[in-house]
Chain A
Amino acid sequence: MGMAGLGLLLFFAVMAISAPSLTPYDPQYTMQLASSRAKPEWLDPRLPRNTLIISDPGFSSTRSLEEWTIFEEGSSAVSWSDQEGYPGIPLIEEGSGLGSFQLTSNSLRGNSTILMEKAFHYQSSPPRRFSVHMAYKVIVEGNATWNIQVWVRQTDNVVLGFWNSSTKSGSVDWSIPKPEIDTNDASLRFRLFKDILADATRVFPVQGNYTLVIMVQTNVESGTVNIYLDDVSARIWGEAFGYLGTDNYGRDIFTQLMHGSRISIIIGTFSAIIAVLLGLIVGLVSGYIGGWLDELLMRSNDILLTIPGLPFLIVLTAVIGPSIWSVIILIGLLGWMGIARLIRSQVLSLKSKAFVEASRASGAGTWHIIRKHLIPNVMTMAYTQLALTVPGAIVTEAALSFLGLGDPFLQTWGKMLHDVQYYGAVAEWWWAVPPGICIASLSMAFVLIGYALDDIFNPRLRKR
């Protein structure tokens, strides 16, 4: 029995330690990995996975242009430039650095239109979300107008116009389309389909060949126009992702599950240690010294036992503010009572044993007796109680997080269940079931270990 417990514990310890290497994502902050509430990949193979249409959005070398088919009308020069590159937006997104697509046009060329096309084959069920990202910079010297548009050509050659910069005449430093080209944007959906409730299923309704088209138009009266494009990426958001899908924010659920083990183990053991330490101290002092101190401590013990734990924790956490340390300390502070009683009764029975009497008769001080004689004998019970207290701490933390009182910066297993409840995702069993199983198994591990320890330290004659 104890071996099973140890095995389970080992399993979770390994999970906890290797969590970062098992998954590259951050459980809390890596969002938008796929469509929100994406399903696990193994659930339905027809569901679209994340599809990045363009392999090298950063235009890192001249070869990057090879994936595009470029049609020129009129004449302008199309090339790769290593002079310019999208620097990104501070704190919001990183640019890919130097390397971009350059289009040059001058008055000799007049009106010119360039079509950059990337054809691809889509073969999954219709996705819910599609987005395009693009950064552009325009340098106008002289008198010229320009226009950039983003289209998608569907299988039946219907063209959907996703974005139109509208004809502009001045220079523009690096910018991105606003609002961003994303089927999540209601105005875009309305504009394209006259229906706010539409989504990317209307963009890619069937399997087949589609083309992403970027059109750049220039009309140069005099002078030159240089247009740079960089960080051009288009993404069909996957409806399936990873081992366990994504949550409401597109975070990977599997990652949350793995990382949750660290927090649960830490919270469980630390709270239990605090509770056992407190229980040890109170039990030892109360049992050995006795008298009014014993009376006082035991009465407080009983009163604290009567106060219902979770409501008290709720009230305390709501007031103090949820954070992992306050949760650990509070759970510990409310868990020492039972242990103190057990330790105390053991101390009481030890107190009258001969060796304590002898020690006292030979003049040993109180502290010395406690340290040398009582503590070693009481430690076995302390270890057993430690193992048995951890499950309660883990489940209590899960309950607190479930109610929304956990540390808001930590995705614990309980918090995952909170999300399930809050976003009404009960039917998504790959999200709802695993955290509970983990909570239960980790707790069971400690329960089994605890009872095995109890058997070892208190062997009872088994009557057959």
Chain B
Amino acid sequence: MEIWESAEGDHMGLRSYIAKRVVFAAITLFIIMTLNFVIFRLMPGNPIALIADVVRLRPEQVRRLYELFGLDRPIWDQYVQYIVQTLQGFYGYSFYTQRPVSQDIMERLPNTLLLVGTSTVLSIIIGMVVGIVAAAKRGSAIDISAISFGFLGNSVPVFWLGLILLLVLGVNLKWFPLRGTTSVPAPREPLALVADILWHMTLPTLALVIILFGGYALVMRAAMIDVLTEDYITLARAKGMDERTVLYKHALRNAMLPMVTVISLAFGFLLTGALLTETVFSWYGLGRYIWDAILKHDYPALQGIFFIISAMVVAANLIADLIYAVLDPRVRYD
């Protein structure tokens, strides 16, 4: 008798959704690799000439390098070789350190991930709480500060904030160290080492969180405000639920949906911010690596970094898409 029986079961929809997102991520990655290849081949002069610039090479060495880099083969071959190598994790040799770029990156990546991970989690949590309270208490001090920090996050350069924090808390007050991931020499004992790293991490994390939480707070606030106007919220109150339950059970679940989208979009910005902040604090991560690579015209390093960073962002977006599917039952049927 029902005209609108729904046909599919739960799992079919979910599977096809996941498949679509994975394919999309793969295509994006592929395009990034292609761009990476094309851009660096666009450069005038060939890479070997650039290396020869930095390091004195004998003619036989130059010839060997030509072979090694496959520069004597047609451009299509080079392209394929590049794709294959990149997927295998080989990104060429750094001009400056003379080591494989992948090795340089792997040394520094964990530090960057530590910084990025901690800052992300903290900004999201703080942003969400502030946003929820701001939406529930419109016009209060929290509401106004949420909006203000949201605006400031867009305007204040994070690396400058890092400089200021370094100046005030590091140079003037001497509460925090001025550079590095750990003290030199690093403490041996694991607990002390962890504490040392955390102490060094405080200022960069602080800079990142201050800039970023405002954006999350604004989105959470807007999403909550929208949700709180919905009929099912009024009904939840009518059913006799206390305000706390209404906010955190009924409203939040719905407001999380746009939040997840924003988190995935913002990951790219957060990563970029972390990279910039790292240079200020000489945090031994990818950011510092970029700064040095630019100074020394280390193109293979830049190429490798660009790929790794893009891959991370694509992966983060994919994870966010999947989380969204879990949270929103409606999306499995699109």
- Cβ of B299 within 8 Å of any chain A Cβ, yes or no, is yes
Q: Once the chains bind, are A432 and B163 in contact (CB under 8 Å)?
A: yes
Name A309's contact: one of B161, B171, B272, B279 (CB within 8 Å): B272
Per the CB 8 Å criterion, the residue count for chain B at the interface is 50
A253 touches B (CB below 8 Å): no
By the criterion CB–CB under 8 Å, are B164 and A436 in contact?
A: yes
B281-304 interface bits toward A, Cβ cutoff 8 Å, 1 = contact, 0 = none: 000000000110011010100110
Task: Indicate if B154 sits at the interface (CB-CB under 8 A).
Answer: yes
- A83 contacts across to B, CB distance below 8 A: none
Query: With A417-B163, A433-B164 given, is the CB distance from A310 to B156 under 8 Å?
Result: no
Nearest CB in chain B to that of A313: its residue? B272
Q: Would A303 and B27 count as touching, CB distance under 8 A?
A: yes
A440 touching B32, Cβ below 8 Å = no
Q: Interface residues of A: mostly helix, strand, loop or mixed?
A: helix
Q: Chain B interface mostly helix, strand, loop or mixed?
A: helix
Give the residue name and chain of the B residue nearest to A312 (CB).
B306
Complex contact A403–B164 (CB within 8 A): no
Closest chain-B Cβ to A79's Cβ sits at a distance in Å of: 57
Closest chain A residue, CB of each to CB of B32: A307
A307 to B30, CA, bound (A): 11
Interface string of A354-370 (1 = CB under 8 A from B): 00000000000000000
Q: Is the CB of A421 within 8 A of B151?
A: no
Q: Which residues of A contact B154 (CB under 8 A)?
A: 391-392, 395, 443, 447
**In the complex, what residues of B have CB within 8 A of residue A314's CB?**
290, 294, 302, 306
Contact B156 A440 (CB under 8 A): yes
B163 touches A319 (CB 8 A): no
Flag if B294 contacts A429 (CB, 8 Å): no
User: B191 to chain A: which residues have CB within 8 Å?
Assistant: none
Question: In residues 148-202 of chain B, which contact A (Cβ within 8 Å)?
Answer: 151-152, 154-157, 159-161, 163-164, 166-167, 171
Answer yes or no: B314 CB below 8 A from chain A CBs. yes
Whether, in the assembled complex, B61 has its beta carbon less than 8 Å from a beta carbon of chain A, the answer is no
Interface centre among B28, B163, B164, by most chain A C-beta atoms within 10 angstroms, is: B163
Contacts of A463 in B (CB 8 A): 229
User: Which chain A positions have C-beta within 8 A of B43?
Assistant: 319
Q: Write the nearest CB–CB distance from A393 to chain B, whole angstroms.
A: 11
Kindly state whether residue A420 has any CB partner on chain B within 8 Å: yes
Given A319-B40, A392-B154, A440-B152, CB of A309 within 8 Å of CB of B268: yes
Known: A308-B309, A319-B42, A444-B151. A403 touches B290 (CB 8 A): yes
Instruction: Give the docked Cα–Cα distance between A417 and B276 (Å).
Output: 12
A427 to B171, CA, bound (A): 7
Distance (Å) between the CB of A37 and the closest chain B CB? 15
Is there contact, CB below 8 Å, between B28 and A436? no
Question: Are A308 and B271 touching (Cβ within 8 A)?
Answer: yes
Q: How far is the CB of A278 from chain B (nearest CB, A)?
A: 18
B163 touches A426 (CB 8 A): yes
A414 to B160: give the CA distance in the assembly, Å.
9
List the B side residues contacting A318 at CB < 8 Å: 294, 297, 299, 302
Q: Which of A302, A440, A451 contacts B157 (CB 8 A)?
A: A440
B160 pairs with A436, CB closer than 8 A = yes
A311 with B305, Cβ < 8 A, contacts A306-B314, A399-B276, A429-B167 known: yes
- B112 within 8 Å of A (CB atoms): no
> A319 to chain B: closest CB distance in Å?
5
Q: Is B333 an interface residue (CB 8 A)?
A: no
Structural contact, A308 and B272, CB atoms closer than 8 A = yes
Please determine whether A302 and B167 come into contact, CB atoms closer than 8 angstroms. Answer: no
Residue B317 lies at the interface, judged by CB distance under 8 Å to chain A: yes
Within the assembled complex, what's the spacing in Å between the Cα atoms of A316 and B43?
10
Query: B1 at the A/B interface (Cβ < 8 Å)?
Result: no
A-side contacts of B302, CB under 8 Å: 314-315, 318
Contact between B157 and A305, CB atoms less than 8 A apart: no
Q: Is B275 an interface residue (CB 8 A)?
A: yes
Q: Which of B24, B163, B265, B306 contacts A436 (CB 8 A)?
A: B163
* Chain A proximity of B39: nearest CB distance (Å): 5
Q: Is B319 an interface residue (CB 8 A)?
A: no
Produce 1/0 per residue, B59-73, CB < 8 A to A.
000000000000000
| Binary contact track A286-314/B, C-beta < 8 Å → 1, others 0 | 00000000000000001101111111101
Contact A444 B152, beta carbon cutoff 8 Å: yes
A276 within 8 A of B: no
Chain B residues whose CB sits within 8 angstroms of the CB of A444 once the complex forms: 151-152, 155
B276-A439 in contact (CB<8A):
no
Q: With contacts A319-B39, A319-B40, A319-B42 known, is A420 near B156, CB below 8 A?
A: no
Please encode chain A, from 390 to 432, with 1 for each CB lying within 8 Å of some chain B CB and 0 for all others: 0110010011001111000000001001001100001101001
**Which residues of chain B are near A320, meaning CB under 8 Å?**
42
Closest-by-CB residue of A relative to B170 is: A426
Contact B310 A311 (CB under 8 A): yes
B31 at the interface (CB under 8 A from A): yes
Verify B157–A395 contact, CB threshold 8 A: yes
Q: Is A85 an interface residue (CB 8 A)?
A: no
Complex alpha-carbon distance, A308 and B164, angstroms = 26
Chain A residues near B290 (CB-CB < 8 A): 311, 314, 403
CB distance from B296 to the nearest CB of A (A): 11
A444–B159 Cα gap in the complex (Å)?
17
User: Of residues A405, A443, A451, which shows the largest number of chain B Cβ atoms within 10 Å of its Cβ?
Assistant: A443
> Is A435 part of the contact surface with B, judged by Cβ < 8 Å?
yes
Minimum CB–CB distance from A95 to chain B (whole Å) comes to: 40
Instruction: Tell me if A448 counts as interface (CB < 8 A to partner B).
Output: yes
The 8 closest A-B pairs by CB, nearest first: A436-B160, A443-B155, A310-B272, A308-B268, A440-B156, A444-B155, A440-B155, A315-B306
Extra contacts besides A403-B294, A405-B294 (9): CB < 8 Å:
A314-B302, A315-B302, A395-B157, A417-B159, A435-B160, A440-B152, A440-B157, A443-B155, A448-B151
Instruction: List the interface of chain A (C-beta within 8 A of B).
Output: 302-303, 305-312, 314-316, 318-320, 391-392, 395, 398-399, 402-405, 414, 417, 420-421, 426-427, 429, 432-433, 435-436, 439-444, 447-448, 451, 463
